[in-house]
Each structure stands twice: as C-alpha cells, then as structure tokens.
Amino acid sequence: MRSDTRQRSDYFPEEDNVLMPEQFENEPVPVLPDRPEDGHKGTFGKVLIIGGSSGMSGAVCLSSVSALRTGSGLVTAAVPRSIQAIVAGYEPCVMTTGLEVDADGHLINVPRDRVEALLAGKDAIAIGPGLGQSAAVRDLVAIILETCRVPLVLDADALNVSADSGLLEKRNKSAACIITPHPGEFSRLTRQNISIDDDTRIAMAADFAQSHQLTVVLKGPRTVVTNGERLFINTTGNSGMATAGSGDVLTGIVVSLLGQRMESFEAAALGVNAHGRAGNIAASELGPRGMIASDLLTALPKAWEQMESCQATL
C-alpha cells in the first residue's frame, strides 16, 4: 500500500528539474483516457490517417499501426491506390481506402464530396505522413482544413504544403488542431530560424500556437507542447529515436488519443511522453544505435502498461 507522502514525481521522475520561462508552469503528464470494460470499437475512436505516396508507404503504415497500438477501435488509412496493397499487407488490422492516381501512380485531385465521405463518422483525422507535396496534395490539405469538423493532426508534408501556401490561415477554427513540426518544418511555417535555446523555442511555439489557435508540438530533444497558454516540456526519449519514421509513429499516437476524446493539449502532451517512453524501452532492449522506428511499435504496449501502473498508484 502506497504512502500518502509519495508525490507524482516519485512515479514520473522525468518531470523534476525542468527549467521553465517565468510566464509558464510546466504541466504534469496527463492521465490516460478511460478504457471501460464494456467498451466497443466505437467507444475507443474511429480515426482516419491520410498519407503515403510511391516510395513512402512506410510512413502511413507506421502511423496507422501506432494508432492501433495506442488503443484506437478502428483505424483507416486513406492512401493513393498505387500503394494500397502495400499498406494493407503491412498490418491486416488497418483498414485501407484507395485514392485515385494518375498513370504514374501519383495522387490526383480528390473531389470535395469524396473528402467529405472520407471524413464522415470519424472521431479524429491525421494528414501528412509520406503524402508528398504535389499540387493535388496541397488542394487536398486545403479541403481538409476547410471542411474538417473533428480534431485534426497536421504532420510532415501537410505542414510543408501549408507553409508554402498559407493554408493554416484559412483553417476552419471550429475544430481542434495539432501540428507536429520538427525544427525545419517549423522554420518554414514561421519563416524564421529556430533557436536551440529552450526559452526562444518555447516563445516561438507559444506565439504561433496562440496566433493560429492550435496546439504546437515542436519536436526534438525536450519536445515543446503548447497551445499558447499552457506548456509541457517532455524529457523522455533518447538519440535512438532520431531515425526515419519516428515522427510518423508520434502522429499515430496523438491522433489515436484525440479519437479517444482527449482534449488537444492533453493528447499532445501524453502522446509525446508515451512516445519517448517507448523509445526508452526499445533502447534498453536494443541499444539506441541500432533502433529503427518500427521498434517503437513493439515497445508502445509496454510504455502504456508502465504508465497505467504508475497512474494506478497515484
């Protein structure tokens, strides 16, 4: 039986000793969403992940499986028809739907009514992993930003085409939105160089979040999560996660948590912490040098089990 004198930091020691700018207080790791024993697939969220392109099918595979490993009831990957069989064959638990392509297998314009049909009945959407940066992708992202009425995650190429065409300014702000840029993508979005100084990174992320009414996940060591008013600095993770596909895994985690009805800031903060914990578990078993992103998929269930155990003792 635990002592009443034990504190949250006894179970989440990485929260200690985080230096913060004066205007912010570092938020604790959010609690996991409820998982009722009588729940069904719909209870745990129906999510849609739009991504992939020729040569980049792995990105949407990683995102889709990580969403399932985070507890989503149903995950659908909307991908160019030219790679649909690859994505479907990666993990049979992921449902797929094919988007029309040209003779070379590249995505062509997706009509608005087709987009609306894709979004219908979904609890959360993610777009961007491996999608490419063609004109058809830009138009698809524009339609999603205008029509989406459920929480949305923008990652990777969705951010890149948004930076080039100012699409975020035209977003329908009735739906919650999380963006997950790495420093290069954030630099393109802000048209500023990203400082390695923590205070400056936090200030830039908070300013962008507030002005665009969304949540920013500025990835990297000590990932910054902010909606402009609240702040979470993550301290889990290791250098083994600096590998292709790691960010795609994070996208799947975050969209899954949104589909499980978590608020956007909490979903982002919990997602990056669990992502880093999975990385630490994988590194402890494999060593950081030899890790690849798919190792995080195997480690994720262990990360959730670890967090549930900690949460149960609080």
The tokens for 166 are: 């100012």
Cα dihedral 90, 106, 78, 171 in deg (nearest 10): 140
Would the pLDDT of 9 be above 50? no
* Res 15: pLDDT: 47
Residue among 147, 182, 142, 174 nearest 158 (CA):
142
The tokens for 136 are: 């058809």
Q: Tell me the pLDDT band of 233, cut-offs 50, 70 and 90.
A: very high
Looking at residue 154, what DSSP letter applies?
A: E
| 18, burial (CB in 10 Å: exposed 0-12, middle 13-18, buried 19+) | middle
Range of lowest pLDDT (11-25, 163-177, 230-244): 11-25
41-308 maps to CATH 3.40.50.10800: no
Would the pLDDT of 188 be above 90? yes
Q: Tell me the pLDDT band of 253, cut-offs 50, 70 and 90.
A: very high
* Res 314: pLDDT: 64
* Res 10: pLDDT: 37
Residue 93: how many other CB atoms lie within 10 Å:
12
* Res 20: pLDDT: 54
By three-state DSSP, how is residue 115 classified? Answer: helix
Tell me the pLDDT tens digit for each residue of 33-53.
999 999 999 999 999 999 999
Q: In the chain, what are the domain boundaries?
A: 41-308
Greater model confidence, 160 or 194: 160
In angstroms, the CA 257 to CA 68 distance is 10
